[in-house]
Amino acid sequence: MSLRSLAFAFACLAAVVAAPPVRADAPVPDAVVQTIADDLGKAIDGHQAELKGDREKLINLIDDILLPHFDIDYASILVLGQYARSATPEQRARFARAFYNSIAHRYAEGLLNYTRGRVRVIPSKGELNEKRSIVRTEVVLDDGKTLAVDYAFRKTREGEWKAYDVIIEGISYITNYRNQVGAEIAKSNLDALITRLETQGDKVLETMAGDQKGGQ
């Protein structure tokens, strides 16, 4: 199983979408992660061949299961880092949509290897913080080894717990992409990056990742 593909399954960014009405029994972070893991397994198990031949259906499946549980706006601002302060609301929205679409097309097929039981949620200890929380999990790889994957959550103004970052073996998803995006914007400007993401999609992400490795 691709590590980045599984990380994407829980951490993709997207354009801001309207949040559903908050229930009085809104689930706590541990339950949110378990629900995503279970729903992905149910949706993918036995449908790999069908989904592999229908990319749009696979993307829609990801959207339906993941997006309601992520603080999209907040995550997008964190990825933009210092550039978010000078970006207009339109630029932030365009960036979020283009960035998500690029990530979705880059990692979607990797999710076809996902099956139920891959993720074990480690029960939280102590009382739940009122504003932020970390959900710790273990991901079972094909060779039987486990991988530590943590999910950072924050409570929205509407009272929902939503994820905004994934930390894989100590490496933050937000920090990783913030560095890549920041380096790309520094070369040109935010509008240029947004346009490239809108027109070239996942090829831009591959280029940014390659540039980052080359500079290390």
Q: In what order do the strands lie in the sheet with 119-122?
A: 119-122, 132-140, 146-155, 161-168, 171-172
Q: What's the CATH number for 3-16+24-215?
A: 3.10.450.710
Tell me: the pLDDT tens digits for 33-58? 998 888 988 899 888 999 989 988 98
Q: How confident is the model at residue 13 (pLDDT cuts 50, 70, 90)?
A: very low
- CA nearest to 193, candidates 102, 73, 65: 102
Q: pLDDT category, 139, cuts 50, 70, 90? A: confident
CB contact set of 1 (below 8 Å; sequence gap of 6+): 110, 113, 114, 118, 141, 142
Strand stretches in 36-176, DSSP E: 119-122, 132-140, 146-155, 161-168, 171-172
Q: What is the mean pLDDT of residues 186-214?
A: 88
Provide the b/e sequence for 121-156 (b: ≥16 CB within 10 Å): beeeeeeeeeeebebbbebeeeeeeebebbbbbbbb
- CB-CB contact of 27 with 160 (8 Å): no
**Whole-angstrom distance, CA of residue 203 vs CA of residue 95:** 15
What are the φ/ψ torsions at residue 100 (nearest 5 degrees)?
-60, -50
Query: Can you read off the two tokens belonging to residue 131?
Result: 């504003």
pTM over 0.85: no
pLDDT digits (tens, 9 = 90+) for 161-187: 999 888 988 999 889 899 999 999 999
Give 160's DSSP letter.
-
Taking the CA atoms of residue 157, residue 121, residue 49 and residue 70 in that order, the dihedral angle to the nearest 10 degrees is: 10
Instruction: Specify whether the CB–CB gap between 37 and 122 falls below 8 A.
Output: no
